[in-house]
């Protein structure tokens, strides 16, 4: 290590220039970053639902929607309210990149058996308008509930419909003091862009300063604290720059990469500067303290960086692009933090900078943990393992669109309001393809029975198909007492009537030329249970005569949920395999390597138990915590075991080596774990619930990892001869 220290000292100016240029290039890359707000990132490659979605998009361009619900404080429809509805619909129709709008005020509206221009509607027509819309209970744009009237505008956009158009709609409604709610799968996707942008600019700096605060308390010096966290901060900049150059955008998942880079990458800087302070306290000069520190913790720092990367790379086992990107960029970020620590800190410390010598202090946490050495720590571990295993069956694997958002966000509130008033705002779709005429009576009877079975469950609020529309129009046009599906002659007459309408009500349900149709289904909730019920009933009706395939954004997430446990187990097996191999290479002895695995394996079990206890779901977001736990938690065990092994090889017995290693490592380990947990606590400020869960789980995993690494591990190691 002396050669490396001397190399850095001799080439210090050149290395400084190199580091500055690297940061400037990264900033250029950051300027290219855009925010991705497409929930297609949740697609599972090769999913049947993705195949169904592609088929449906071939026949029905408008597969996603935005729903706007405007509330009026009136018990009955009046001309004043109706004029306002017309004003809103005219505004919406004038916004670019909108394919069609289903609203209460189209250009023409049926009054009895005739069509009337919307501009000629008078007070006497309003009862018939209400009656007409009541005929379409599943898709009515006019709803009366709780002595209020709600106008619902369902917008079917074109490809160019983005956040700009949504903000234009919301701006118009706000300026005119309308009380409104907005929802729909496309709306929820586009609005995520605002949240991700806020997270990108606020949370990484927040994590940096929170870790700085914790490290400052433990290290006792502003200068030492800044140096300890500087490499991780630089690495986060490099990582964002690389994302800008390679990927060009960040999603609600990959936006976590710079945060993980800071909170995990800060470990190396903390250990390095802490040991520099220890060396200075023991009388080493400037260069010798660097060489001594690298000799003591240089290799462990490399190994811990690699094990942290291994934890994330195990996520590549999951066949999900967004998670794969998070794994890759977080791994690169942690690698950058390791490289930055080896470059930046020696470059600075070989200069004229001076650090305060470490003041010997004994913290309450250090003393408390050490008092647990022996049988007490083993007893606590056994109890925690037993309780956690008992809680395993309670683990849920739920993930849906609504779970992304916190309860206090407008999106969450609006979604619930839509469910209350309109039965839902995020539908799923059933694509129908028949081997005979799609509008035949046999097909109609079959699908209407399919709808009936769906509605008889508690999993579906409402459902609508082209067969419902023809049945309703057949009743209205021929003044029937009840809805009856028409015969072919009646269908032809109804089509003549429909073709007079500027807004064709069956366009979103039927592609007659391709002989396909679709059913729009509004689930009671977006939970797995409801989606599974819909799937099971669909499978009962899916046969060779009429193929029925389900699709929709929420079914992507349902697909994720089905395989989540299998993917998590596979990811953990790969991670554990990689880590034990790296430990064996690092420690050069199998038994210490295996013992070092005990704290982290136990922490994973405890974390699973906490999921069962808390009700937090195991999903593609919370699964990242297991990667962090493996990658970071093993760092503490490696750090302690490496120092213990070094002291033992210097002639100390196992007991003495354990005591010396504890004195040398406990402070930086506790500081790093606390800093990491506090740093990730920046996610508590996130508007996304999934980020809040990461913060909670991080606290649990870090407390467990520190306790086990500093109590159970030394308890076992000091008995080794």
Q: pLDDT tens digits for 221-260?
A: 788 888 989 999 999 999 999 999 998 888 888 888 898 8
Please state, for a pLDDT cut of 70, what percent of the chain lies above it.
Answer: 94
Query: Do the Cβ atoms of 316 and 395 come closer than 8 Å?
Result: no
Type and span of the H or E element at 67? strand 66-72
Segment 307-328 shows an average pLDDT of: 80
Q: Which residues contact 294 (CB under 8 A, 6 or more apart)?
A: 1, 4, 5
* pLDDT digits 0-9 by tens, 87-133: 999 999 899 988 888 888 888 777 766 778 888 888 888 888 888 78
Domain ranges across the chain: 2-40+190-357+365-403+558-717, 65-183, 428-551
* Distance (Å) of CA 707 to CA 365, 673, 713, 714: 10, 10, 9, 11
Segment 529-545 shows an average pLDDT of: 91
Is 305's pLDDT higher than 60?
yes
- Quick check: do 2-40+190-357+365-403+558-717 and 65-183 share a fold? no
Type and span of the H or E element at 294? helix 286-313
As given in the structure block, the two tokens for residue 568 are 């998590």
- Per the DSSP assignment, residues forming a β-bridge with 431 are 518, 549
* pLDDT digits 0-9 by tens, 496-525: 877 776 666 777 888 888 999 999 998 988
pLDDT score for 446: 94
Nearest-CA neighbor of 211 among 686, 683, 681, 695? 681
Nearest-CA neighbor of 638 among 563, 565, 719, 584? 584
Where does the pLDDT of residue 530 fall: very low under 50, low under 70, confident under 90, or very high at 90 and above? very high
* Distance (Å) of CA 696 to CA 79, 548, 663: 53, 42, 29
Pairwise pLDDT comparison (362 vs 630), residue with the higher score: 630
Is 548's pLDDT higher than 90?
yes
Classified as helix, coil or strand, 185 is helix
Segment 646-674 shows an average pLDDT of: 83
DSSP annotation of 681:
G
Where does the pLDDT of residue 17 fall: very low under 50, low under 70, confident under 90, or very high at 90 and above? very high
Q: Select 65-183's CATH number: 3.40.718.10, 3.40.50.12280, 3.30.70.260, 3.40.50.1220.
A: 3.30.70.260
pLDDT score for 361: 52
| Lowest-confidence region among 71-80, 333-342, 678-687 | 678-687
β-bridge pairing 179-183 and 66-72: antiparallel
Classified as helix, coil or strand, 546 is strand
Where does the pLDDT of residue 340 fall: very low under 50, low under 70, confident under 90, or very high at 90 and above? very high
| Lowest-confidence region among 411-415, 471-475, 495-499, 538-542 | 495-499
**CATH class for the domain made up of 2-40+190-357+365-403+558-717:** mainly alpha
| pTM check: above 0.75 | yes
* pLDDT digits 0-9 by tens, 148-178: 999 999 888 887 787 788 889 999 999 999 9
pLDDT score for 71: 94
Nearest-CA neighbor of 626 among 670, 564, 535, 558? 564
- Per the DSSP assignment, residues forming a β-bridge with 430 are 519, 550
Where does the pLDDT of residue 474 fall: very low under 50, low under 70, confident under 90, or very high at 90 and above? confident
Is 481's pLDDT higher than 60?
yes
Strand segments, DSSP code E, in 75-192 are: 98-102, 108-111, 114-117, 142-145, 148-157, 179-183
CA–CA dist 619, 451 (Å, integer)? 31
pLDDT score for 532: 92
Q: What is the CA radius of gyration of the chain?
A: 31
How many DSSP H helices and E strands does the chain contain?
Answer: 24, 14
CA–CA dist 248, 235 (Å, integer)? 18
DSSP sequence for 424-477: -S--EEEEEEESS-TT-HHHHHHHHHHHHHHHTSSSEEEEE-HHHHHHHHHHHH
* pLDDT digits 0-9 by tens, 198-211: 888 888 898 888 88
CA–CA dist 97, 160 (Å, integer)? 6
Is 358's pLDDT higher than 60?
no
Strand segments, DSSP code E, in 295-445 are: 428-434
> What's the whole-number average pLDDT of the chain?
84
pLDDT score for 490: 86
């Amino acid at each position: 290590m002396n050669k490396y220290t001397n190399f850095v000292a001799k080439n210090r100016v050149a290395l400084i220039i190199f580091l500055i240029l690297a940061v400037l290039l990264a900033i250029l890359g950051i300027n290219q970053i855009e925010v991705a707000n497409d929930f297609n990132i949740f697609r599972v490659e090769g999913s049947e639902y993705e195949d169904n979605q592609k088929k449906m998009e071939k026949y029905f361009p408008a597969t996603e929607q935005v729903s706007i619900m405007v509330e009026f404080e009136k018990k009955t429809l009046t001309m004043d309210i109706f004029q306002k509805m017309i004003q809103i619909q005219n505004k919406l129709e004038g916004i670019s990149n909108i394919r069609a709008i289903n609203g209460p005020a189209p250009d023409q509206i049926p009054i009895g058996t005739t069509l009337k221009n919307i501009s000629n509607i008078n007070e006497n027509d309003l009862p018939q308008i209400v009656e007409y819309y009541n005929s379409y209970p599943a898709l009515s744009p006019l709803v009366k509930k709780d002595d209020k009237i709600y106008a619902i505008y369902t917008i079917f956009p074109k490809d160019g419909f983005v956040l700009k158009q949504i903000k234009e709609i919301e701006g118009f409604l706000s300026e005119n003091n309308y009380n409104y709610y907005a929802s729909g799968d496309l709306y929820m996707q586009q609005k995520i862009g605002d949240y991700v942008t806020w997270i990108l600019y606020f949370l990484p700096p927040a994590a940096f300063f929170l870790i700085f605060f914790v490290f400052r308390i433990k290290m006792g010096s502003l200068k030492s604290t800044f140096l300890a966290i500087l490499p991780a901060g630089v690495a986060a900049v490099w990582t964002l720059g690389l994302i800008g150059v390679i990927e060009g955008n960040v999603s609600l998942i990959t936006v976590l990469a710079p945060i993980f880079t800071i909170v995990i990458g800060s470990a190396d800087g903390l250990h390095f500067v802490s040991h520099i302070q220890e060396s200075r306290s023991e009388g080493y000069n400037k260069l010798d303290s660097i060489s001594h520190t690298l000799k003591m913790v240089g290799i462990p720092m490399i190994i811990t960086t690699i094990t942290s990367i291994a934890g994330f790379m195990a996520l590549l086992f999951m066949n999900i692009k967004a998670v794969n990107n998070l794994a890759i960029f977080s791994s690169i970020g942690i690698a950058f933090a390791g490289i930055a620590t080896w470059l930046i800190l020696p470059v600075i410390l070989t200069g004229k900078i001076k650090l305060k010598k470490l003041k010997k202090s004994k913290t309450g946490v250090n003393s408390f943990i050490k008092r647990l050495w022996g049988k007490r720590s083993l007893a606590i571990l056994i109890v925690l393992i037993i309780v956690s295993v008992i809680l395993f069956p309670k683990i849920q694997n739920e993930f849906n669109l609504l779970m992304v958002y916190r309860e206090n966000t407008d999106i969450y509130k609006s979604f619930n309001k839509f469910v209350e008033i309109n039965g839902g705002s995020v539908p799923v779709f059933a694509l129908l393809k028949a081997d005979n005429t799609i509008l035949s009576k046999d097909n109609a009877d079959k699908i209407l029975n399919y709808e009936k079975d769906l509605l008889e469950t508690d999993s579906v609020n409402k459902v609508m198909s082209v067969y419902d529309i023809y049945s309703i129009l057949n009743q209205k046009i021929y003044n029937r007492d009840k809805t009856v599906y028409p015969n072919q002659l009646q269908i032809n007459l109804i089509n003549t009537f429909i073709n007079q309408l500027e807004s064709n009500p069956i366009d979103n349900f039927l592609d007659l030329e391709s002989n396909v149709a679709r059913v729009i289904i509004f689930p009671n909730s977006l939970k797995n249970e409801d989606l599974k019920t819909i799937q099971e009933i669909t499978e009962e009706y899916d046969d060779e005569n009429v193929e029925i395939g389900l699709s929709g954004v929420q079914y992507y997430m349902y697909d994720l949920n089905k395989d989540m446990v299998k993917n998590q187990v596979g990811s953990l097996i790969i991670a554990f395999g990689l880590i034990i191999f790296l430990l064996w290479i690092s420690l050069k002895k199998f038994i210490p390597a295996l013992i070092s695995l005990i704290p982290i394996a136990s922490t994973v079990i405890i974390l699973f138990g906490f999921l069962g206890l808390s009700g937090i779901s195991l999903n593609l977001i919370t699964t990242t915590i297991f990667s962090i736990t493996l990658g970071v938690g093993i760092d503490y065990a490696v750090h302690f075991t490496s120092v213990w092994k070094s002291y033992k090889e210097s002639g100390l017995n196992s007991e003495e080596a354990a005591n010396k290693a504890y004195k040398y490592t406990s402070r930086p380990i506790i500081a790093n774990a606390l800093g990491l947990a506090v740093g990730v606590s920046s996610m508590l400020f996130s508007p996304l619930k999934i980020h809040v869960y990461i913060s909670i789980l991080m606290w649990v995993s870090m407390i467990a990892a520190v306790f086990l690494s500093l109590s159970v591990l030394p308890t076992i190691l000091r008995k080794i001869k």
